[in-house]
């Protein structure tokens, strides 16, 4: 069943081609909420905002690999928009520059419906003129991307990763119900972890990674870049090419994957504990030429 889900996502993937000197940043699993006690993202807002602005200024293309918005704990987009309006405004600028790709994950799976996306845009990003209208309503959420680089005959299959997690793909509404009406409050009152999340369930995390590994082996070592598990992965050349960009809800830090000049790196942004409290970026893995994986 999981193989058929992954195959379908691969076949339906949005195909995009970049030049070899293109610059891309991949983040996922922000889980932007309403800035309340249950909002895991709120502690990293300063770090993320700084990183996002830096990438915009340096002409990076922003790719969000799902779970950017927390729609399990929150019934409505409005409190999320109100809490993080400056971030959405910056994402709007990425979109206007044609440097934005958004994927849906299990926590924002409602955005697989184009009508839901259009409704949000109409309510929160009203166009001022016809040009704005045409630009805004070209915004789309995708399930997956097939990223190609000029001169290469291999591609990167980018998706959230919950396609390898049957319950979180087929029965996500059941999990959403328990998170929204039970685990959210159990977390507040008793500190109970959400057992529906592979990021907090080691056995489920391992299952997801094993299924993705097997799919890659069955598809001629197809390079995969995903999120979902919150666990960063950066394989050595020659290993199974499964990359994971981590998440933006790590304690006081965010982790992502950069591609620049046909090289790939795993990077971490965090608030330095020094006296100046500066936000800094460090390279955790890489850079390694994509030729080693493609």
The domain in which residue 48 lies consists of 2-292
pLDDT at 193: 54
Tens-place pLDDT, residues 60-69: 999 999 999 9
Length of the chain: 294
Number of domains in the chain: 1
Is pTM beyond 0.85 here? yes
Q: Please say whether the beta carbons of 199 and 231 come within 8 A.
A: yes
Tens-place pLDDT, residues 238-275: 999 999 999 999 888 999 999 999 999 999 999 987 76
3-state helix, strand, coil in the chain (%, to 5): 40, 25, 35
CATH assignment at residue 86: 3.60.21.10
Using CA atoms, how far residue 244 sits from 9, 227, 240, in Å, is: 17, 5, 12
Q: Please say whether the beta carbons of 259 and 294 come within 8 A.
A: no
Look up tokens 């195959």; give the residue.
Answer: 7
Q: How many CA atoms lie within 13 A of 52 on its CB side?
A: 25
Q: Report the alpha-carbon distance of residue 168 to residue 233 in Å, rounded.
A: 21
Tens-place pLDDT, residues 67-84: 999 998 888 889 999 999
Q: Which two tokens stand for residue 34?
A: 């309403």
Q: Report the alpha-carbon distance of residue 43 to residue 289 in Å, rounded.
A: 33
Look at residue 292 and tell me whether its pLDDT is greater than 90: yes
């Amino acid at each position: 069943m999981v193989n058929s889900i992954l195959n379908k996502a691969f076949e339906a993937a949005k195909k995009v081609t970049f030049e070899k000197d293109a610059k891309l940043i991949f983040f996922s699993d922000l889980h932007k909420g309403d800035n309340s006690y249950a909002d895991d993202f709120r502690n990293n807002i300063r770090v993320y905002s700084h990183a996002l602005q830096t990438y915009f200024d340096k002409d990076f293309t922003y790719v969000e690999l799902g779970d950017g918005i927390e729609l399990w704990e929150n019934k409505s987009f409005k409190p999320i928009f109100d809490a993080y309006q400056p971030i959405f405004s910056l994402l709007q600028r990425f979109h206007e520059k044609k440097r934005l790709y958004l994927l849906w994950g299990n926590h924002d799976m409602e955005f697989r419906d184009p009508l839901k996306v259009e409704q949000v845009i109409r309510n929160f990003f009203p166009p001022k003129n016809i040009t704005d209208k045409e630009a805004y309503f070209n915004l789309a959420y995708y399930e997956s991307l097939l990223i190609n680089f000029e001169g290469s005959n291999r591609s990167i299959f980018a998706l959230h990763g919950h396609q390898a997690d049957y319950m979180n793909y087929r029965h996500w509404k059941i999990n959403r119900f328990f998170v929204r009406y039970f685990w959210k409050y159990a977390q507040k009152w008793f500190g109970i972890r959400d057992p529906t999340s592979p990021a907090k369930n080691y056995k489920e995390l391992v299952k997801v990674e094993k299924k993705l590994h097997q799919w890659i082996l069955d598809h001629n070592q197809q390079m995969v870049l995903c999120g979902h598990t919150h666990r960063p992965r950066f394989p050595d050349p020659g290993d199974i090419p499964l990359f994971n960009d981590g998440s933006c809800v790590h304690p006081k830090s965010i982790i992502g994957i950069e591609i620049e000049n046909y090289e790939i790196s795993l990077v971490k942004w965090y608030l330095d504990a020094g006296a100046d409290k500066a936000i800094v970026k460090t390279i955790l893995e890489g850079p390694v030429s994509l030729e080693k994986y493609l």
